[in-house]
Structure 1
Amino acid sequence: MNILFVADPLESFKIYKDTTFAMMREAQRRGHTVAACEPAHIVWARGGKVQATVRSLRLTGEADAWFDVVDTPTLELHTFDAVIMRKDPPFDSEFFYATHLLEQAEREGAKVFNKPRALRDHPEKLAIMEFPQFIGPTLVTRDPQAVRAFHAEHRDIILKPLDGMGGTGIFRVKDDGLNLGAIIETLNQDGTQTLMVQKFLPAISEGDKRVLVIGGKPVPYCLARIPQGGEVRGNLAAGGKGVAQAITAADRAIAEALGPILAARGLLLVGLDVIGTHLTEINVTSPTCFQEITDQTGFDVAAMFLDALEAATAA
């Protein structure tokens, strides 16, 4: 196969942990050709098809100069066997526009993973609303009084913006309500921004688990991201410690319930965030943790992904 990765600049990759790199490495190991571009390189003009100036790559196996650019052709996206959208959040206007360009490429015959429409239809924090049976007490609002009432009921809560990533903008307010007003003002911006409020889950001390679902099936191991020191956030970007472990029966039940539904919508790879037995987020833009799980357990997550990709492109 000839595979195009739409991603962040290659020079920004931390290849010792980058999931997109792990996908590329496994693809090349299987004899597939690999190319990459950034969303900014995708172009459409009337009378033509969606195209991009790409970098055809050869991975070197070196830690520093980890790729060679073989060629930089301008190619129509439908000429690739698979286009993998791996641009990191935030899901801003430019990400949104990129999904529309990729959807046009689909109309022209391209096979895009994850499906562009599905990326738009599953905002990572709000997608859990469809599955209330698996989530804890949750409120989505821009009304400060509704937030205060939620705190009065649950006494220990987490507040977060809907467009954050890596744990940015997450606050915990305990029973004393200290700084609740200031936090609401910061996130709510005088009633102009919607935020999410959730009951604090003490099981976060055991980790915020990333449960990967590939082709509708759960990876048998997850990465528990455990908060360190006095931090409430387990995100690796916020200093959390990643510990790979076998998924629990509750993890599997959530993954097996959601997996086939999400896969049928064109979501080949999904990252479910689970605290204790509760689903907290559904990550679809560029789920990570492949290398951490593989390094600690020996289970080859990238191989499972390539198996699913090969099957999806052959369908």
Structure 2
Amino acid sequence: MTALTAAILMDPIAGIKMTKDTTFAMLLAAQARGHRCHVFTLPDLFLRDGRAWGRLQAVTVQDRAGDHYRLEPVGERPLAEMDVVLMRKDPPVDLEYLTACYLLEHAGTWVVNDPVSLRNANEKLYALHFPQFLPPLLVSRDLADLRAFLAEHGEIVVKPLSARGGEGVFYLHGQDRNVGSILETVTGRGAHYVMAQRYLPAIREGDKRILMVAGEPVAGALLRVPAAEDFRGNLVAGAQGVPAPLTERDREICAAIGPRLREDGLLFVGLDVIGEWVTEINVTSPTGAREIRQFFGIDAAELLWQSLERGVQARRGSAGH
């Protein structure tokens, strides 16, 4: 395979936690396979005369804390000069993120994950395409609706639709005297939609992150077990990561969701599964690759580059006809 030239739109590389960062794992895997990578951030993306450009810096990486990258001088280049552009900017999916997706539609090259699908596939709502795998849920901004849902189920979790890492997620039960205040806060007094899901007691055993590459599950998963004093299965919220094999139910879920991911150009995706149920489908910058490699010796980032190499080769072949 001919070496690829790639650009990765990400958060500033100086500030990442390289021991846990999946985008960094992608850079390591690309470099090991002989590919030339450049990095840039949201302010470095711009559009001129109908073409998307980036202020790019070629990067060299190494798996060494405190000395994990070297950047070359900035150069302005049209993204069409790249074989592939990876969109790995972390949430929130705000107006600036959405605008970047609009600009990336004019990259003139392959963008992964597909920017149109990134706009369409809200990480809380995309799972609605697979209702057979979802717990009882409600999406509403109406406080009375949310109170009625709580009364029906006794225990629920409410979450904003565009946050990440467990931010703004609340557990509620019927006897909680803070219910009114919490619902007012998460909805902005009825100004913003939220998702409410029936509380799943299986969260005490952990929230499983399954990485999907080109619609296929990586063979091992990361189980994020909440801290004793918390209910959130997010590593940034104090959850502990432990290895978890894929169950028969997990494989059933992946087999059903995988074809839609491929159709939508979502090559690198993280499914969140609690017990038997899908709770989120993460498409922006899903993580977990570093931990899964540590636990199982399987590098999801390596699998991604193998898929990208095949895809670029196919695109070159079709362009030649």
TM-score of the aligned structures, taking structure 1 as reference length = 0.96
**Kept in 1: contact 2:57–2:74 (CA 8 A):** yes
Per the alignment, residue 40 of structure 1 pairs with 43
- Equivalent residues of 1:294, 1:300 under 8 A apart: yes
Instruction: Determine the structure 1 residue equivalent to 2:17.
Output: 14
SS of the aligned residue for 1:310 comes to helix
SS in 2 for 1:292: helix
Structure 1: distance between partners of 2:65 and 2:232: 30
| 8 A contact 1:86–1:286 mirrored in 2 | yes
The 3-state SS of whatever aligns with 1:168 is coil
Listed as ranges, the matches of 1:1-315 within 5 Å are: 1-46=4-49, 49-105=51-107, 109-315=108-314
Question: How many Å apart are 1:275 and its aligned residue?
Answer: 0.4
- Structure 2 distance, partners of 1:306, 1:216, is 14
Q: Which amino acid aligns with 1:45?
A: R
Displacement of 1:309 after TM fit?
1.5
Partner secondary structure for residue 187 of structure 1: helix
1:314 is displaced (CA, Å) by 2.0
CA shift, 1:124, in A, is 0.4
Tell me the CA shift for residue 74 of structure 1. 1.1
Structure 2 CA distance, aligned partners of 1:307 and 1:22?
Answer: 14
- Matched to 1:59, the amino acid is V
2:318 matched to which residue of 1? none
The one-character-per-residue Cα deviations of 1:226-276 (angstroms, maximum 9, x if unpaired) are: 101120111001000011211111111111110111111110011111100
What SS is found at the alignment partner of 1:252? Answer: helix
Amino acid of the structure 2 residue aligned with 1:98: A
State the secondary structure of the residue aligned to 1:44.
strand
Aligned residues: 311
TM-superposed CA distance for 1:143, in Å, is 0.8
8 A contact 1:57–1:71 mirrored in 2: no
Displacement of 1:63: 2.3
Which amino acid in the other structure matches residue 41 of structure 2? Answer: E
Q: Summarize deviations over 1:276-302 as a string: whole Å, max 9, x none.
A: 010000100001000001011212222
User: How far off its partner does 1:65 sit?
Assistant: 2.1
Does structure 1 retain, via aligned residues, the 8 Å contact 2:211–2:300? no
Q: Deviations over 1:39-58 (max 9, x none)?
A: 21111122x62111111112
Please state whether the residue corresponding to 1:150 is helix, strand or coil.
Answer: helix
Per the TM alignment, residue 305 of structure 1 is displaced from its structure 2 partner at its CA by 1.4
What is the CA deviation profile of residues 109-164 of structure 1, one whole-angstrom value per residue up to 9, with x for unaligned ones?
Answer: 31000000000010000111111110000000011111111111101111111122
Q: Which moved more, 1:52-61 or 1:220-229?
A: 52-61
Rounded Cα–Cα distance in structure 1 between residues aligned with 2:70 and 2:129? 44
Q: Secondary structure at the match of 2:168?
A: coil
Instruction: Give the Cα–Cα distance (whole angstroms) in 1 for the partners of residues 77 and 179 of structure 2.
Output: 52
How far apart are residue 195 of structure 1 and its match? 0.8
Q: Which residue identity lines up with residue 27 of structure 1 in the other structure?
A: A
How far apart, CA to CA, are the structure 2 residues paired with 1:127 and 1:265? 11
C-alpha distance in 2, partners of 1:261/1:235?
26
AA aligned to 1:119 is L
Contact 2:213 2:300 in 1 (8 A): no
The CA deviation string for residues 170-212 of structure 1, in whole angstroms up to 9 with x for no partner, is 1111232431111111111221111111100000011111111
Q: 2:159–2:186: 8 Å Cα contact kept in structure 1?
A: yes
Question: Structure 2: 5+ residue runs without aligned partners?
Answer: 315-321
Q: CA 1:42/1:178 → structure 2, altered by over 3 Å: closer, same or farther?
A: same
Q: CA deviation at 1:60?
A: 4.0
Q: Which moved more, 1:241-250 or 1:286-295?
A: 241-250
**Structure 1 residues without counterparts, runs of 5 or longer:** none
Measure, in 1, the Cα distance between the counterparts of 2:291 and 2:204: 19
Aligned-pair RMSD on alpha carbons?
Answer: 1.2
| Inter-partner Cα distance in structure 2 for 1:52 and 1:188 | 36
TM-score (norm 2): 0.94
